[in-house]
């Protein structure tokens, strides 16, 4: 089946973590047997454009996926609809280029209604192509969208053929917030890339002679809860406890986190790893023992699924997404903004670490989040969408 994917954001390079789960899903669908294309509009600052001297249109075949990228200058940030119109114009140009080279797709699959879902719904209506929309954004839970943005989102959701949420919690929230009473939100999780299949599950005796290693891997922003984690780590483990905390990622909060680790007296037991390229994540996870994700908001939480895939138990919060990832035997689910619960979970998981079977954790995650499993679910939706193509007004 010929499927064109239009993401609202997408990796610019293979080392870019922004939207890497969109790329992983596209590759999984290609390997399942579909003909997959990507068109990705992305903004560059004027400074970046000047340094590069031109706006660049890139094309590559990325692991079998035909990928078009085109940049634009976000020149109208203060005007409602301003940058949307620039994004729309750029995406439409890419669509023409794609169709000229590869023909019209049978299905358009958009990721996030703002802006991809809205533009995809227009292209689908104009060319009689059914559109599937998957929503990912945490902005709904955080009440960040303005009225004009919600208007675009609602228009997109009401006009596409099928709507998917990456977690049941997000689907329920979308039903409550949007004026889309007739829309049914299917749940299809994000895919865990095949690169995690190659990670070797560590044996229990591999930890002998070294501290237990806790890992947090996330963008360093307020919503990811790293401040909570540093404080809980300091409270849970004394200087003598053989436990380390590794923090992978970067972001605006990093200087604050580094300063806080010094103030708490734990800087000798906390490692700041910086940005970790996607291809290096499985190796990193094979060197640690527990994943800790104390996020305040998540629509899914693909890092938790990735950790389980390589056999790591997980501590995560009930913040929207991890509830559908972390089962009773996979680690601990705690409430966000509850430091006492986080301290207790850290203590408990370190004490009971030997009880977790990496092989069993990996097998359960593989059965839910592997590329094959997710591609099968999406393929069924694509087929049902095509079958319903002529039934106007019917939502799958």
19 belongs to a structural domain: yes
393 belongs to a structural domain: no
64 belongs to a structural domain: yes
* pLDDT confidence of residue 204: 47
Q: Same domain, yes or no, for 206 and 175?
A: no
396 belongs to a structural domain: no
Q: Same domain, yes or no, for 178 and 81?
A: yes
Query: What number of residues does the chain have?
Result: 396
* pLDDT confidence of residue 143: 92
Sole residue written with tokens 């019917």? 394
Q: Same domain, yes or no, for 9 and 127?
A: yes
Q: Same domain, yes or no, for 305 and 344?
A: yes
* pLDDT confidence of residue 396: 57
Q: Same domain, yes or no, for 157 and 210?
A: no
Q: Same domain, yes or no, for 347 and 264?
A: yes
Q: Same domain, yes or no, for 58 and 171?
A: yes
Q: Same domain, yes or no, for 376 and 239?
A: no
Q: Same domain, yes or no, for 170 and 273?
A: no
Chunked into runs of 10 residues, the chain (396 residues) has average pLDDT values of: 97 88 97 98 68 67 96 77 92 97 98 97 97 96 92 95 96 88 91 82 62 97 97 94 96 98 97 96 96 96 97 97 96 96 98 95 96 98 90 55
Alpha-carbon distance of 227 to 215, in angstroms, equals 14
Asked whether 201 and 364 are in contact (CB, 8 A), the reply is: no
* pLDDT confidence of residue 185: 95
Q: Same domain, yes or no, for 201 and 303?
A: yes
CATH number at residue 70: 3.40.50.2000
* pLDDT confidence of residue 205: 45
Q: Same domain, yes or no, for 375 and 310?
A: no
Alpha-carbon distance of 236 to 297, in angstroms, equals 23
Q: Same domain, yes or no, for 137 and 263?
A: no
Q: Domain count of the chain?
A: 2
Instruction: Note down the domain range covering 120.
Output: 2-191+371-387
What pTM was estimated for this model as a whole? 0.90
């Amino acid at each position: 089946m010929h499927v064109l994917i239009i993401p609202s954001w997408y990796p610019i390079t293979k080392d870019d973590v922004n939207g890497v789960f969109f790329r992983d899903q596209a590759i999984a669908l290609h390997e399942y047997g579909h003909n997959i294309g990507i068109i990705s509009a992305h903004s560059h600052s004027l400074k970046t454009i000047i340094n590069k001297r031109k706006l660049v249109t890139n094309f590559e075949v990325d692991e079998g996926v035909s990928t078009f990228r085109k940049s634009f200058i976000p020149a109208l940030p203060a005007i409602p609809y301003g940058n949307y119109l620039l994004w729309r114009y750029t995406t439409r140009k890419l669509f023409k280029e794609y169709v000229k080279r590869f023909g019209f797709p049978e299905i358009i699959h958009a990721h996030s209604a703002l802006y991809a879902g809205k533009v995809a719904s227009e292209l689908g209506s104009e060319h009689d192509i059914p559109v599937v929309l998957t929503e990912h954004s945490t902005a709904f839970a955080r009440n960040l969208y303005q009225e004009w943005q919600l208007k675009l989102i609602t228009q997109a959701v009401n006009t596409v053929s099928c709507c998917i949420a990456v977690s049941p919690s997000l689907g329920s929230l979308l039903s409550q917030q949007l004026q889309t009473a007739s829309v049914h939100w299917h749940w299809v999780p994000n895919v865990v890339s095949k690169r995690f299949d190659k990670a070797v599950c560590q044996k229990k005796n591999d930890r002998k002679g070294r501290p237990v290693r806790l890992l947090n891997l996330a963008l360093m922003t307020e919503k990811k809860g790293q401040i909570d984690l540093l404080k809980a780590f300091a409270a849970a483990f004394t200087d003598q406890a053989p436990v380390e905390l590794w923090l992978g990622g970067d972001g605006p909060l990093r200087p604050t986190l580094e300063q806080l680790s010094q103030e708490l007296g734990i800087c000798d037991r906390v490692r700041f790893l910086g940005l970790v390229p996607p291809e290096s994540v499985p190796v990193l996870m094979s060197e640690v023992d527990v994943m800790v994700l104390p996020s305040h908001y998540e629509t899914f939480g693909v890092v938790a699924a990735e950790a389980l895939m390589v056999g790591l138990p997980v501590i995560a919060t009930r913040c929207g997404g991890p509830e559908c990832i972390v089962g009773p035997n996979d680690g601990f689910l705690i409430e966000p903004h509850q430091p006492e619960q986080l301290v207790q979970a850290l203590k408990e998981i370190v004490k009971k670490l030997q009880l977790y079977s990496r092989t069993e954790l990996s097998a359960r995650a593989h059965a839910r989040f592997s590329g094959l499993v997710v591609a099968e679910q999406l393929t069924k939706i694509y087929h049902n969408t095509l079958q319903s193509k002529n039934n106007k007004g019917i939502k799958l």
